[in-house]
């Protein structure tokens, strides 16, 4: 007998949240290096982007590889939001001590903060409507149109990562390249089983 779907989905959440637990434990144990707050913020932000890219990879994997992970896409998307929320919470609470004036000044003056906040602002309604009840209430077409904004959120998140690093190392550029590649893959035609091309 196979493992029930609900158990498998729960396992995705448990495994997905494990890095956050590990990071907070390392922080409590003073093992996040000389700048623990900065390290915590950056790691949480990178995990948010990783799960966002994983969610975006579900459709190309099904179209081009034949691996169907659609039933886990919602979980991956929600994990991306949870990490984005923790990233933001660390920035507001630990970095700025809930100084909302300083947070607002950063949003206005620092482009990487502006872009990052824009990405989170897009992810928030997507997370809130990521359930069957929202689909019924909004209607399938309106719901799908709203959730296409995830592409904008992904581009903004990748740009946030690139802009936050001053020396242009390879890692942010790799993430940005993966984001663009995953979005462009949706425009590529797929050869159907009958030999015709389908978009």
Give pLDDT, residue 194.
43
User: How is residue 67 written in tokens?
Assistant: 């691996």
Give pLDDT, residue 198.
33
Give pLDDT, residue 2.
76
Mean confidence (pLDDT) of the chain: 91
The yes-or-no verdict on residue 148 having pLDDT over 80 is yes
pLDDT digits (tens, 9 = 90+) for 5-15: 899 999 999 99
The yes-or-no verdict on residue 169 having pLDDT over 80 is no
The yes-or-no verdict on residue 88 having pLDDT over 80 is yes
Give pLDDT, residue 191.
52
What percent of the chain lies above the pLDDT cut of 70? 92
Q: How far apart are CA 12 and CA 1, in angstroms?
A: 20
Position 1 confidence tier, pLDDT thresholds 50, 70, 90: low
Q: How far apart are CA 106 and CA 99, in angstroms?
A: 11
pLDDT digits (tens, 9 = 90+) for 42-71: 999 999 999 999 999 999 999 999 999 999
The yes-or-no verdict on residue 195 having pLDDT over 70 is no
Tell me the average pLDDT across 132-146.
Answer: 93
């Amino acid at each position: 007998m196979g493992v029930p779907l609900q158990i498998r989905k729960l396992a995705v959440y448990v495994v997905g949240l494990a890095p956050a637990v590990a990071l907070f434990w390392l922080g409590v144990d003073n093992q996040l290096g000389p700048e623990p707050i900065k390290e915590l913020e950056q790691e949480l932000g990178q995990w948010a982007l990783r799960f966002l890219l994983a969610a975006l990879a579900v459709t190309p994997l099904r179209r081009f590889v034949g691996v169907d992970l659609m039933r886990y896409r919602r979980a991956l998307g929600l994990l991306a939001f949870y990490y984005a929320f923790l990233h933001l919470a660390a920035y507001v609470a630990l970095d700025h001590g809930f100084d909302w004036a300083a947070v607002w000044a950063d949003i206005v003056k620092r482009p990487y903060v502006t872009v990052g906040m824009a990405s989170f602002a897009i992810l928030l309604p997507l997370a809130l409507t990521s359930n069957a009840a929202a689909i019924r209430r909004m209607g399938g077409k309106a719901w799908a149109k709203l959730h296409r904004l995830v592409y904008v959120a992904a581009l903004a998140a990748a740009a946030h990562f690139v802009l936050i690093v001053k020396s242009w190392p390879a890692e942010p550029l790799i993430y940005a390249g993966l984001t663009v590649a995953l979005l462009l893959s949706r425009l590529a035609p797929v050869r159907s089983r009958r030999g015709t091309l389908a978009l």
